[in-house]
Chains A and B, each alone.
Chain A
Amino acid sequence: MSGAEIARQDRIRELARQALTEGKVDYFIGWKAGHVPSEVIPAFVRNVDECDMLLWNPLCHHNLTTFLKRKMPDPPDARIGVCVKGCDSRTLVALLQETLVDKERLYVVGVPCDGIIDRRRLEKAFSDEVIDIAFQGEQVVVTTRGGETKELAYEELLLEQCASCDFPNPRYYDDLAGELLPQPEGPPRFPGLEEYEALSAEEKDRVLADAFATCIRCFACIHVCPVCYCWDQCVNRSRRPALVGQKVAAKENLMFQMVHMFHVAGRCPSCGACDRSCPVEIPLYLLHRKMNKELFEMLGFQAGLNVEDKPVFQTFNIDDALGEQ
């Protein structure tokens, strides 16, 4: 781990300790080690003496702002401290734009982020269970349960979205853990779509149909999404009205994902939480990132950048270029 990362981790712990000591928050949400050192999980810290378990490293992939949405805070009016990376901060901004979380009950620690690694890709390089992932400078040292050890290059393990991240710095925070990183130049990037975009309409249909045929309708993608907040009222599960078929079959699954995509359009910054949560690894980014690319190209809109902005589907500008007409 680089010196900067250790400094960020120290600062997260220090800010959490302060917030809890001062009684600013009831609990503080960060990341901690899971059941094996290679797994990082969300941490809910209520006591000052637990702050040292908070972690910061390239495994901290969870977007913790999902724990701010309706029905998550426990008690419902809890005052919460939360850590956000660049992309996480954008889902928070999206929630703030719609006044769905109360700023007054929130304490936000922004964490400038060098990029998260793609655990799935990493795990596929081994047939044995990966139980430890350590960061040594530019190297990632991976150890399996059977004792095999491999060194891999950090750069090559980055999540696709992180390798071309437009906003490594949080867009919204009360305090920062560490120095801001240089802001990348140039227009926003939407990686990983080239292959899909090059396909004909029929081929695209087939790619999506094949991908969603394996969906098990577990709802991880919906529930993990910070800006997908209808919970028990979600139309995808509603029987009355029964608008979305409940069968677990390719057509119905695709329909249900289309609903998700359209419902989060304007709030979704392609944080990738849905992709990472899918137990059968469906490439959900094909829908969400593509939608975001379209929104940018048609309307110049990017989700979750400034609290004062209006979400795209809540505005109408006479100059909006809606296709050819």
Chain B
Amino acid sequence: MKFLARDQLPTLLADLSTAAEVWVPVKQQNGVVQFDRWAPDVDVELDVFLARQSPKENVFPQTETYLEYRYLMVCSAQRPEFTDQTREELRQLVESEGGEVVAEVPPVAQELLLVADVGGGSQGEPGLGSAAGMDDSAQIILGLRPCDARGLSQMDNVFGGYGGFYFDPYYNVRRNNTTIIAVTCRTPRSTCFCRALGGSPAGTEGVDVLMTEIEGGFAVEAVTPKGESLVERSVFEKAQPEVEESAVAAKQAAEAGVNVPFELDGVREGLKAGFDSPVWHDLAMRCISCGTCTYVCPSCYCFNINDEIVEGTGERFRCWDNCFNPMYTLETSGHNPRESKHARFRNRFSHKFWYYPDKYDSLLCSGCGRCIMYCPTHVDIREVLRTMSAETTAEKGEA
């Protein structure tokens, strides 16, 4: 364990920022706290308890360009002479912009379609699925809470190929270049429920270094090898025995401030048993089906892929999506298996506590409580899970 004096925090940040981009919670002009780039004139906000959003955008940007392309279409039946001209235009383009022709669609009806990929990954080298050319500079995120870090490690399963499923090159480049310095919670909110999910206000899942606020500074613990090398810096002092004691006390005080509003055991079974339960209609009554809960969530990871073309120049990018979005499960036929509000609502909880655990052997919720705080009608995930757990109990009772 090490010790960092409070007044040495800027020194540490300045030191870290020589080799990496450093992100910290910052109070914005309107008083909202969000993660932002640190600079010598930026104050780290650790008093306002949770930033509006976890720093999930640092590894999973809300909008991310996959590739850029030129897209030329000619009507070959009516203007055959243009076909060659367009091919030539495209060839020149490829040459000048360094892309490659990825598709040349023969004139199925009357149109010839030519697509040139002029950039892969996030700007740079051509080619789909290539992370080459991505900005891979190191970043350090300081001041997030243990539940934020746990949210990241839950997303890692999805993007990191857990169970032999999908591996996302873009996400992983960023994730591997990211160091997480979490800060133990000092004043948990009434909405925090990390402990109900096996977490803790001093939890270390997904954390490289954990700092705990104590008198005069922070008790600093390295959790991973990445963390070990970070705390080698001279600004960290060797911890006196009192530091360790104060840290234990601070962690215990934080633990005591976190409620355990439901039993995790039985939640998954309850969701399964209650899938068709009419109780979902009641639970969803005050939901306005917006999706805010998912965008403030540290572990929601759904995204969609868009193609937008303006005058022959196109871009393919991904954007966060969510299960309340009408397009989320809309099928090409026009049928939407989740047409009604309660069905969309049901998916959020079932995904986090049933479908995802089945596939990835962990939860998709870390108990930060943001969905309760920022839902326009305060839909309460704790109440939903409690209610659904009771569905099995009710059924057992009847049987």
| Interface of A toward B, CB cutoff 8 Å | 34-36, 39, 41-42, 44, 62, 66-67, 71-72, 74, 120, 124, 127-129, 131, 145-146, 214, 216-220, 222-224, 231-232, 234, 237, 239, 242, 245-249, 276-277, 279-281, 283
| B86 at the A interface (CB under 8 A) | no
Query: A239: shortest Cβ distance to chain B, in Å?
Result: 7
What are the residues of chain B within 8 A of A74 when measuring CB–CB?
281, 284-285, 340-342
Distance A42 CA – B63 CA, assembled complex (angstroms): 33
Are B306 and A239 in touch, CB under 8 angstroms?
Answer: yes
What are the residues of chain B within 8 A of A216 when measuring CB–CB?
53, 62, 295
| B111 at the A interface (CB under 8 A) | no
What are the residues of chain A within 8 A of B383 when measuring CB–CB?
35
Are A277 and B376 in touch, CB under 8 angstroms?
Answer: yes
Distance A249 CA – B317 CA, assembled complex (angstroms): 12
Distance A42 CA – B47 CA, assembled complex (angstroms): 31
What are the residues of chain B within 8 A of A34 when measuring CB–CB?
378, 380
Are A129 and B49 in touch, CB under 8 angstroms?
Answer: yes
Are B285 and A44 in touch, CB under 8 angstroms?
Answer: yes
What are the residues of chain B within 8 A of A280 when measuring CB–CB?
32, 34, 52
* Secondary structure dominating the interface of A: loop
Are A279 and B326 in touch, CB under 8 angstroms?
Answer: no
State which of A223, A242, A276 has its C-beta within 8 Å of the C-beta of B289: A223
Query: A157: shortest Cβ distance to chain B, in Å?
Result: 15
Are B377 and A247 in touch, CB under 8 angstroms?
Answer: no
Are A279 and B374 in touch, CB under 8 angstroms?
Answer: yes
Name the 4 nearest CB pairs between A and B, nearest first.
Answer: A232-B326, A277-B376, A223-B290, A279-B374
Are B52 and A36 in touch, CB under 8 angstroms?
Answer: no
Count A-B pairs with CB separation below 8 Å: 127
| B8 at the A interface (CB under 8 A) | no
State which of A124, A145, A248, A281 has its C-beta within 8 Å of the C-beta of B190: A145
What are the residues of chain B within 8 A of A223 when measuring CB–CB?
288-290, 376
The residue on A at minimum CB distance from B370 is A279
Are B190 and A35 in touch, CB under 8 angstroms?
Answer: yes
What are the residues of chain B within 8 A of A281 when measuring CB–CB?
30-32
Query: B218: shortest Cβ distance to chain A, in Å?
Result: 18
**Do A62 and B292 form a contact, CB below 8 Å, given A71-B341, A127-B47, A231-B326?**
no
Distance A189 CA – B239 CA, assembled complex (angstroms): 61
Residue of B62, B340, B378 contacting most chain A CB atoms (<10 Å): B378
* A-B contact sample (17 more), CB < 8 A, given A218-B296, A279-B295: A34-B378, A35-B378, A35-B380, A39-B378, A66-B288, A74-B284, A74-B340, A128-B49, A128-B187, A145-B187, A216-B295, A218-B290, A222-B290, A223-B288, A223-B289, A223-B290, A277-B376
Q: List 12 A-B contacts (CB under 8 A).
A: A35-B380, A72-B341, A124-B31, A131-B190, A145-B189, A217-B320, A218-B296, A219-B291, A249-B63, A279-B374, A281-B31, A281-B32
Query: A248: shortest Cβ distance to chain B, in Å?
Result: 5
**Do A36 and B341 form a contact, CB below 8 Å, given A224-B290, A249-B63?**
no
**Do A224 and B288 form a contact, CB below 8 Å, given A39-B378, A74-B342, A281-B32?**
yes
Distance A232 CA – B335 CA, assembled complex (angstroms): 12
What are the residues of chain A within 8 A of B12 when measuring CB–CB?
none
What are the residues of chain B within 8 A of A276 when measuring CB–CB?
376
Are A246 and B306 in touch, CB under 8 angstroms?
Answer: yes
What are the residues of chain B within 8 A of A41 when measuring CB–CB?
286, 377-378
The residue on B at minimum CB distance from A74 is B281
Query: B325: shortest Cβ distance to chain A, in Å?
Result: 7
Distance A276 CA – B342 CA, assembled complex (angstroms): 24
| B308 at the A interface (CB under 8 A) | yes
Query: B263: shortest Cβ distance to chain A, in Å?
Result: 18
Are A245 and B292 in touch, CB under 8 angstroms?
Answer: no
Query: A91: shortest Cβ distance to chain B, in Å?
Result: 14
Distance A219 CA – B320 CA, assembled complex (angstroms): 12
The residue on B at minimum CB distance from A216 is B295
Query: A56: shortest Cβ distance to chain B, in Å?
Result: 17
The residue on B at minimum CB distance from A211 is B30
What are the residues of chain A within 8 A of B62 when measuring CB–CB?
216-217, 248
Are A44 and B282 in touch, CB under 8 angstroms?
Answer: yes
Query: B390: shortest Cβ distance to chain A, in Å?
Result: 18
Query: A231: shortest Cβ distance to chain B, in Å?
Result: 7
